[in-house]
Structure 1
Amino acid sequence: MNMKRKGIEDMGIELNRRRLLQVGAAGLVTVTGLPHPARAEPYDGAFTWISPRGTLEVLDDYAYWVGRKMGYFDGLDVEMQPGPSDGTATVKFVDVGQADMGFPSPGVFSFAILNGMDLTSVFHMGARDTFSIAFRQGEGSDDLTTLEGKTVLLGSAAWQSIVDPMLAAQGVDVSRVTYVEAGWPTWGTALAAGQGDAALSWEGLRAEWIATGLEFEYWLGVQNSPLPANTFVVRSSDIEDPDRADFLGRYLRGWAMGLEFAQANPAAAVQAVFEQFPTLASNLGPELGVTSILQQLNVNRGDMETREGWGWHDMESWQTFFDISAEIGQAGQIEAENVLTNRFIGPANDFDHAQVRADAEAAEVSGELAQIDVEAIRANLFAQAI
């Protein structure tokens, strides 16, 4: 299945703005002719964040689970939803009012903008590029142009919008790369079985794949890519409403406090997620759990010396992504400043940082997690890199 030279519409993910997407009990997307739902102020019911992965049982959202455990969201009616595994659902559901905040990759976000979804990014979680290219051991290269004429495996067809700009930024002629949708969550297993030459991966997932016996070597975007990673988006109308904007500032503060806590005590952050998802704890284990969260903290923190706080958008990095996407024909031209805002970074970071760090240092870590040498793992974080 070669998806090259096809637009997003050809991949079957075009959204007609006159239709409302709905999810049935089986997780299938259906459509009706209903208009966008009206929302009460500040929100009618719980404020809902929707995952781009089709599951919440991962370490990726650690800042939320820390914030919930520590009371950083107290007074706010909030919830998390896994959503379907369709790579574009996280923006579609926000657009039509079935969720209030999504977490798309830059490629999916640009797809949303160019399909008429009036969304704005309000908190850039992935300061560095979290995405990577996985190879079977002994077959990798730090020169991604070697992927020309080869096959890259994806969990969802929508992920091509992630990989094409990343490869193009490294000088790859993306028209010569073939993509195969190998399915969620089996595309890594497909690579190990020899069904493709490489596969998309990301920080945090590297550790999870090790836990399932998948040993690869990686070209790491966090070390080599100039592009941004996933971000929090909302309907643009919500940031213009004073009550909803105030709510967003307080909600994002909870996430920022969770990030600050995890930076100070990664093992305690892992414990908060493991308490929420015991099966994940059993499958991943303490050492790989800490490895996963350290990989993600490296992405989420970025170079804090040049950032204005957790969630701050680097407009230059984002414009580079949008420009490359336009050059390769993936998207039309988008101006970063029109679809990203840093107006919530001040409110989100307006908390007692010293107190949050003290909370983290005082947090008790129990069992095997307490025995983990966090600094030893941190020093070996890129052992799988090419």
Structure 2
Amino acid sequence: MTRPFAGAMSRRYFLQVTGTGLVTATALGTSGLFGRAEAAPYEKFTWISPRGTLEVLDDYPYWAAKKAGYFGDLDTDMQPGPSDGTATVKFVDVGQADMGFPSPGVFSFALQNGMKLKSVFHMGARDTFSIAFRKGEGMTDLRGLEGKTMLLGSAAWQAITDPMLAAQGVDVSKVKYVEAGWPTWGTALAGGQGDAALSWEGLRAEWIATGLKFDYWLGVQKSKLPANTFVVRAADLEDPDRKAFLEKYLRGWAMGLEFGHQNPRAAVEAVFEQFPAFAKNTGPELGTTSLLQQDNVFRGDMDKREGWGSHDMASWQSFFDLTLKLGQIKEAVKVEDVCTNELIKGANDFDHAKVKADADAYKLSDAFAAIDVENVRAHMFDDAV
């Protein structure tokens, strides 16, 4: 898989983002690095994945919005990033990308390491993360994981699992983590390695498509922690031109989210058109299942939110307080210093009726038209323990 900007990386920069030690952008003196002036408008706005791949359904709002023209004339780019779990924040910090999509744990890692980042659009209104078990071995009380082994795709994911487990009363010092590699950690669990594995909504359906069938403890049902969010350099919010761009860009995502909520099958088709091999391996029904799982996470309880992307500040503060108690961060974090809803009103300022009309007017292919969305929705949690 091609890594973003690989040809432009100096050896010094490559070591910085992939080595065990972290050198911040300030230490590298990056204010003029890569030809970017501090207050210059974006030449091409680059969003970077936390997964090392874009061939997933997680980013359906972008592809649906791009197909529908909701980004207008904005020059946007999506990059898969390295599979290193912390690359999504490191690349934003040093100016190699403009927006990352970290989990709360990886975001707290960034803050702990001096990265001046800010969360501007909270995608995961509900906790997307789950624990996968081989069939018949699932547990409802996660304290049963003490003394057992959990498989991760990246060692960096411990920053995700420790808070989730601790919030359920688990002594995380008694859980052994094994980095089983991306994208093979699920296969490792199915093959008898470890006792459990980290998973998330959307991936559940994609794993089924590859023959991996597990029982799940679902955070979306049992956890009150926040999930992945969009972060940018805090300094970009202080520049009027960049702030205005960010608001327009996030409006495209919000419109894509609304489109996917109104017509999930059409949004899946937008992803499948982008990635034919992924489409062939997943199929319409499991693709629709994956999107519906994620729509549930992204939407949350919309009646209590300011709109798509709105942060629940109390939930985030609870998360930072928990990570401080765990020693994941060393200094207390005030949520208002690192999360903001200042772009949410503008991001949601679009013609909702038009987006619904666009979604309703979309002509589905025969394969997708045959999918019964309500039946898929009714069986979305059949593998939950």
Mapped partners of 1:79, 1:384: distance in 2? 36
Aligned to 2:367: 368
Query: Does the 8 A contact of 1:50 with 1:90 survive in 2?
Result: yes
Which of 48, 68, 71 is residue 70 of structure 1 equivalent to?
A: 68
- The aligned counterpart of 2:123 is 125
Matches of 1:204 and 1:153 in 2, distance apart?
Answer: 18
CA distance in 2, matches of 1:134, 1:12: 30
Deviation track 1:239-290 (CA, whole Å, cap 9, x = no partner) reads 1100100000000000000000000000000001001110111000000000
Please name the residue that 2:246 is paired with. Answer: 248
- 1:17 is the counterpart of 2:16: no
Q: Which among 297, 309, 312 is matched to residue 311 of structure 1?
A: 309
Change (3 A) 1:12 1:327: farther
TM-score, scaled to structure 2:
0.92
Cross-structure match for 1:6: none
Q: Is the 8 A contact 2:147 2:176 kept in 1?
A: yes
State the distance in 2 between where 1:14 and 1:177 align: 25
1:98 to 96, 99, 107: 96
Report if the CA contact (8 A) 2:125-2:297 is conserved.
yes
Q: What does 1:55-204 align with in structure 2 at a 5 Å threshold?
A: 55-204=53-202
Q: Is 1:48–1:101's contact at 8 Å kept on the other side of the alignment? A: yes
Structure 2 residue 233 is matched with structure 1 residue 226 = no
RMSD: 1.4
- What residue number does 1:277 align with? 275
Residue 16 of structure 1: CA displacement?
A: 1.5
Q: 1:35 and 2:45 equivalent?
A: no
Say whether the 8 Å CA contact 1:42–1:247 is kept in structure 2. no
Unpaired runs of at least 5, structure 2? 1-17
1:75 shift after superposition = 1.2
CA distance in 1, matches of 2:54, 2:110: 22
Separation in structure 2 between the aligned mates of residue 334 and residue 190 of structure 1, nearest angstrom: 36
User: Aligned letter for 1:230?
Assistant: N
The corresponding residue for 2:337 is 338
Give the superposition deviation at 1:320.
1.1
Residue 328 of structure 1: how far off its partner (Å):
1.3
Q: Alignment identity in percent?
A: 70
Q: Helix, strand or coil for the counterpart of 2:47?
A: strand
Counterpart of 2:5?
none
Q: Distance in 2 between matches of 1:160 and 1:287?
A: 32
Distance 1:15 1:319, change over 3 A: same
Q: Describe the SS at the equivalent of 1:195.
A: coil
Equivalent position amino acid for 2:325 in 1: E
How high is the TM-score relative to the length of structure 1?
A: 0.92
- Residue 305 of structure 1 aligns to a residue whose secondary structure is helix
- Conserved in 2, the CA contact under 8 Å of 1:152 and 1:199? yes
